[in-house]
Structure 1
Amino acid sequence: MSLRPTLETRRALPTMEGAGVHLHRAFGFQDPSELDPFLLFDDFRNDRPEHYAKGFPWHPHRGIETITYVLSGTVDHSDSLGNSGSLGAGDIQWMTAGSGILHQEMPKGNTQGQMHGFQLWANLPSSLKMTAPRYQDVKGTEIPEIIDDDGTRVKVVIGTFWGKTGPVDGIAADPQYLDIYVPPGVKKTFPVDTYRRAFAYVFDGAGAFADASTPTGVLLEKEVAGQEVNIRDMSGNRTLVRFGTGDEVTVQAGPEGIRFLLISGAPIQEPVAWHGPIVMNTQAELQQAFSELRNGTFIRPAH
């Protein structure tokens, strides 16, 4: 077995999308080969309704798949195919935009006004860019959870892990999407297919990935037992961890434990022509998509 080294850690950056939704972006609109087949990852977390209530009004997508995972609050959605519904806490939606779809996503907070969820964009290979759009909506109760003897918890959102298989299937990137909690002080190793690109996104607690004996990152002052001590926070809240090659990832949980998403997928390794919500292989295909948006032929009739 070979341990995947940590190539990079970086904090997600605040930005705004839609009609003024405040969120943090871990990656997106940069080098698409960096985490191929994944293009973008957003953490939309807020407890101020004025920062998310206007949501993401009607907008197009083509050539990608979007994965929305809700932790708290709800997301109401509707689209040009006539679908509509609501994602609640723990639910996931995988949308294959394919040849083209128009949809809207409107977040709502829970009873305390809190909203938290993630959206990941996965690229489609050229052979599937113009496939028929489809949705897979999955309730949180359908997502299997594994609890190990040491208290580690793994929700298998997509893919197969430790003998359990998530309910979403037929995805081009053949991804694995895990929601992992490791208790305080526990060191844990997780297998990752050698041929996949992989990243972790830490959203609660902190810990050190790869060589846990030499964590890197910012030094934080934390009061423990009445004394000021230095705590190494290699990857804490809203931190992306990008891994090199290998077939396993190791994490050493900090004093408050760590919760993170561990996501991997098979790289597509094709040219990317990308502008906003449209991702194609060539500039000509991109220009055609926007021309169709202008003249009203973007949505293809169902066959």
Structure 2
Amino acid sequence: MGTRRLSKVIPSRATSDGAGVKLRRSLGSSQLRHDPFLLLDEFFSDDPQDYIRGFPPHPHRGFETVTYMLDGHMRHEDSVGNRGDLGPGDVQWMTAGRGIVHSEMPQQKQGRMRGFQLWINLPAAEKMKPASYRDIPSHEIPTVALESGGEVRVIAGTFIPGEQGVSGPIQGLTTDPLFLDVHLPAEAGLEVPVNPGYNAFIYLYDGQTTIGDDEQSLPEHSAGLLSDGDEIHVRAGPNGACFLLLAGKPLGEPVVQSGPFVMNTREETEQALADYRNGTLTG
């Protein structure tokens, strides 16, 4: 099908969430989504006042959350009884399903806190399945060394750098997500095969990069939605580039979101709110 092009740029916007954690939101701002991806937040600060109050207990229903830490230490606790500590390079993959109440609280009073939270939609048939949770320590995430001197961390799906693919720890989901963290040195290029028909985007969090054969620039701290095709071509700028590359199978279903509840109809989101208020969200 050919090489994908940069079709739309979504600059991240400064906002806050939880108990006042400062972050930058690209997907999800002004309800901009890229099926099956609902939201992407980047949190990044050296000032504890920007993150110390964290994300106290709050509910979810109907989708999955993925937390990926670059720096810092965050503790997760939820209504199902799970508890986990996320450090640099760790991932938490949580399926809210029919409902979960969880918290994510910083375990540091100084230093840098940096990472991402991604929301991935669930199909209607899976929105009410039991909640589940998985901590993935950094050492379980394969890292592929590139000939250019760069590297690719494979969190979900399969990255095919040559004749053989390298698979991440997350596999077998309906949306079949590909989640890569890519680090390229100055002027290095990378070609990534992707499934035609899947939606894909790149979020550049450090450096400079161009995308596609026409070398369109993606601004730093922006999400670049990509056209269809079977391959993504990316080239780093003079200072290198660090970015997330995500692709997934679109669900093609109605999305009705009310805060932390993502369902297919307004009635379903209203029911989720009622269930939360009467204590049956997680039952």
SS of corresponding position for 2:128: coil
User: Does the 8 A contact of 1:67 with 1:120 survive in 2?
Assistant: yes
* CA deviation profile, 1:161-195 (whole Å, cap 9, x unmatched): 12111112343321000011121112222111112
1:38 corresponds to 2:21? no
What's 1:19 paired with? 19
Aligned CA distance change for structure 1 residues 60 and 69 (closer, same or farther; 3 Å): same
Following superposition, the deviation at residue 56 of structure 1 comes to: 0.5
Q: Is the counterpart of residue 204 in structure 1 residue 206 in structure 2?
A: yes
Between the aligned partners of 2:26 and 2:157, the Cα distance in structure 1 is 22
Choose which of 129, 153, 160 in structure 1 pairs with 2:151. 153
SS at match of 1:93: strand
Q: Secondary structure at the match of 2:26?
A: strand
* Larger radius of gyration between Structure 1 and Structure 2: 1
Alignment equivalent of 1:132, drawn from 124, 130, 140: 130
Residue of structure 2 in register with 1:240 after alignment: 223
Matching of residues 281-296 of structure 1 within 5 Å: 281-296=264-279
Offset at residue 239 of structure 1 (A): 1.6
- Superposed CA RMSD in Å reads 1.5
1:27 aligned counterpart, secondary structure: coil
Measured in 2, the distance between the counterparts of 1:173 and 1:107 equals 30
Report what 1:63 is aligned to: 62
User: When the two structures are superposed, what TM-score results if normalisation uses the length of structure 1?
Assistant: 0.88
Distance in 1, Cα, partners of 2:113 & 2:174 = 29
CA distance in 2, matches of 1:299, 1:90: 30
Are the structure 2 counterparts of residues 278 and 92 from structure 1 closer, same or farther at C-alpha, using a change threshold of 3 Å?
same
2:178 pairs, out of 176, 198, 205, with 176
Q: Deviations over 1:15-54 (max 9, x none)?
A: 010000000001105446x400010000011111011010
Which residue does the alignment assign to 1:222?
Answer: none
Could you tell me how far apart the structure 2 residues matched to 1:289 and 1:170 are? 27
SS at match of 2:218: coil
Letter of the 1:61 counterpart = H
CA distance in 2, matches of 1:188, 1:160: 15
Decide whether aligned partners of structure 1 residues 43 and 109 sit closer, same or farther in structure 2, where only a CA change above 3 A counts: farther
Contact kept in structure 2, 1:66 and 1:119, CA below 8 Å: yes
User: Which segments of 5 or more consecutive residues in structure 2 lack a partner in the other structure?
Assistant: none
Query: Which residue number corresponds to residue 2 of structure 1?
Result: 2
Residue 113 of structure 1 aligns to a residue whose secondary structure is coil
Alpha-carbon distance between aligned partners in 1 of 2:59 and 2:31, rounded to the nearest angstrom: 22
| Runs of at least 5 residues in structure 1 that lack an aligned partner in the other structure | 216-233
Q: Which runs of 4+ in 1 moved over 3 A?
A: 29-32
Distance 1:164 1:284 in 2: 42
Q: Percent identity?
A: 45
Distance apart, 1:109 and its partner CA: 4.6
Contact 2:159–2:192 (Cα < 8 Å) also in 1: no
